[in-house]
Amino acid sequence: MAAVSLLMILAPASAGTAHPAILLKAPYKTALTSPSAVSSYYGCGAGKASPPKWVGTTGMLAESAMGVGKTCKSYGAYGGGGSGYGSSGMEVLIPFKVATTGNHSLASSWTVKLTTVKSFTYGGCPAKNVNYFPPYGQSSYGQCSDSAYLSWSASSYVTDISNSSWYSYNSSSGYAYNSSYFSNYTSCYNSGTPSCYNSSYGSNYSYIYPYNAPGFTTFTWNGATSFTFWNNATNMKKTDSYALVFDVYLYVAGSASGTHLLTPWAVTAGGSINMATLGNGATLNSVSIV
């Protein structure tokens, strides 16, 4: 008897109520979009982000970005560098209505195809032009460093267009990034007795995190990934208008610098993500509502 009571408590309010299935597919004629593209660079770097484009007739979203930094002779004998980044993203709203009042589940099927380029150098820092016995009260240093960072993220949630106080936030998301970093640094200082410090550090790390997104664990930076976003919404009303909201963003950054080196350190770090041309893109295949 206790077990039966527990099951009754755990059962959703709409349990036992059959909801007619609704399938949304391209063309998504009533979709609304909000695009964003930002880029910047410093010194011997470059950044670029293409304006995102949504094609409602096919359900395809196109974005691309690049960001690189290069070492260069910008000051001193051998030293200089720069950084750059690009970020492109879009929010897409797919309006819909439900046929019955109650709790509903939404499954959105996506296929994302990317072409990604990454450049990064680990090690190889030349000898530094450092005074290992600087005069009293003075210092001298030299360094090499570069980094490259790529990220891709998407999320979805349901909102009530008719009632701003309605709240049933059950989100889904997929997030992936690849980060690389290298630094070699030497400094000397004389505070009475000359002393020097040297450090060398590098890392290369990749991460994939899905939340309510079956299939996203197979995310690939070069090729196609298919996954599904799941969203549950409670107390929905058939008289209200709703929207399934998607946010899709990509980001690329790179930096490189060399300071007080005896010989040049020719490095380019960063990369690009193409989700816009050559058959690449993010396609919303369908939305199933039950």
pTM: 0.88
Using an 8 Å Cβ cutoff, are 168 and 176 in contact?
A: no
Q: For 263-278, how does the pLDDT look when each residue is reduced to its tens digit (9 = 90+)?
A: 999 999 999 999 999 9
Which sequence spans correspond to the domains of the chain?
26-289
Q: For 3-59, how does the pLDDT look when each residue is reduced to its tens digit (9 = 90+)?
A: 333 222 233 334 445 667 899 999 999 999 999 999 999 999 999 999 999 999 999
Amino acid letter, residue 188: C
Nearest-angstrom CA–CA distance, 145 and 133: 24
Quick one: which of 42, 207, 204 has its CA closest to 120?
A: 204
Nearest-angstrom CA–CA distance, 98 and 115: 38
In sign, the C-alpha dihedral spanning 175, 202, 83, 121 is: negative
Residues 74-87: what's their mean pLDDT? 83
- Please name the residues in contact with 229: beta carbons below 8 A apart, sequence gap of 6 or more: 107, 108, 110, 154, 155, 156, 172, 173, 174, 212, 213, 246
Residue 274: exposed, middle, or buried by beta-carbon count in 10 A (0-12, 13-18, 19+)?
A: buried
Nearest-angstrom CA–CA distance, 152 and 163: 32
